């Protein structure tokens, strides 16, 4: 009987001791959590992104609004303006969708392709020039430091292939053009691989979605 009582007392004390240590560990974790500083929301970036998105929507709806609702036929001049704006790094624009919309409205393919290439090359050349002229800190306000560093690593590692792939796929090719300017990348190489990627992209879009 005494042995049983002793065992129960020991077990209870062990149980209490274990609970005590668990309680202490929880307190430590809570204290550590209090010490952790939560990263504040990037309010400036959110405001800038929202503002640029609003500009894109206004631009797209103003230029193409009446055409989208069937009130007017598709205009190549309007398309050129939208397409040019879509390849500026600070404007968000679904240029591939706009291209297909105008293509399916009955516009001559070769003329549309020529306008698409010309406006995209001019706009991305402007992005490249901005990247060369402006400081990194100013540009990072728009694209962010992480994005700048990530794309910079791609360019340094893969070089011209990065330019080609980003222009071939619906990715942020204007940002690539901007960062190539920041890195003093060869403009001739940029022009060759940028144009090659754009030609192949629009040929594939025309072939499969027109």
pLDDT at 7: 41
Residue 8 in this model has a pLDDT that exceeds 90: no
- Write out pLDDT tens, residues 88-142: 988 877 888 889 988 888 888 999 999 999 999 999 999 999 999 988 888 878 7
Q: Are residues 94 and 34 in the same domain?
A: no
Q: Are residues 137 and 89 in the same domain?
A: yes
Tell me whether residue 114 is in a domain. yes
Q: Are residues 12 and 65 in the same domain?
A: no
The number of folded domains in the chain is 2
Kindly report which listed range (41-45, 76-80, 95-99, 131-135) carries the lowest average pLDDT score: 41-45
pLDDT at 30: 55
Q: Are residues 97 and 152 in the same domain?
A: yes
Tell me whether residue 65 is in a domain. yes
- Write out pLDDT tens, residues 197-206: 999 999 999 9
- Please calculate the CA angle 165-144-49 and round it to the nearest 5 degrees: 95
Q: Are residues 12 and 75 in the same domain?
A: no
Q: Are residues 120 and 153 in the same domain?
A: yes
pLDDT at 71: 35
- Write out pLDDT tens, residues 162-201: 999 999 988 788 999 999 999 999 999 999 999 999 999 9
Tell me whether residue 1 is in a domain. no
Q: Are residues 53 and 141 in the same domain?
A: yes
Residue 32 domain boundaries: 7-38
DSSP string, the chain: -HHHHHHHHHHHHHHHHHHHHHHHHHHHHHHHHHHSPPPPP-HHHHHHHHHHHHHHHHHHHHHHHHHHTTSS---HHHHHHHHHHHTSTT----HHHHHHHHHTTT--HHHHHHHHHHHHHHHHHHHHHHHHHS-HHHHHHHH-HHHHHHHHHHHHHHTHHHHHHHHHTTS-HHHHHHHHHHTT--HHHHHHHHHHHHHHHHHHHHHHH-
Which CA distances in Å does 7 have to 16, 19, 97?
A: 14, 18, 77
Q: Are residues 52 and 30 in the same domain?
A: no
Q: What is the pTM of this model?
A: 0.68
Q: Is 68 exposed, middle or buried (0-12, 13-18, 19+ CB in 10 A)?
A: middle
Q: Are residues 61 and 79 in the same domain?
A: yes
């Amino acid at each position: 009987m005494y042995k049983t009582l002793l065992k129960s007392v020991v077990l209870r004390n062990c149980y209490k001791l274990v609970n005590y240590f668990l309680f202490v560990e929880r307190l430590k974790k809570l204290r550590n959590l209090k010490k952790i500083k939560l990263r504040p929301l990037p309010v400036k970036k959110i405001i800038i992104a929202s503002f640029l998105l609003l500009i894109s929507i206004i631009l797209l709806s103003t230029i193409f609004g009446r055409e989208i609702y069937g009130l007017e036929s598709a205009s190549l001049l309007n398309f050129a303006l939208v397409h040019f704006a879509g390849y500026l790094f600070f404007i968000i624009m679904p240029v591939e969708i706009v291209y297909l919309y105008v293509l399916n409205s009955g516009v001559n393919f070769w003329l549309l392709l020529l306008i698409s290439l010309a406006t995209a090359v001019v706009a991305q050349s402007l992005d490249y020039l901005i990247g060369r002229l402006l400081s990194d800190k100013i540009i990072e306000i728009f694209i962010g430091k992480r994005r700048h560093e990530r794309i910079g690593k791609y360019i340094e590692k893969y070089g011209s292939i990065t330019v080609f792939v980003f222009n071939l796929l619906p990715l942020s090719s204007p940002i690539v053009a901007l960062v190539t300017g920041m890195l003093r990348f060869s403009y001739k190489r940029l022009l060759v691989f940028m144009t090659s990627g754009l030609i192949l992209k629009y040929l594939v879009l025309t072939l499969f979605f027109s």
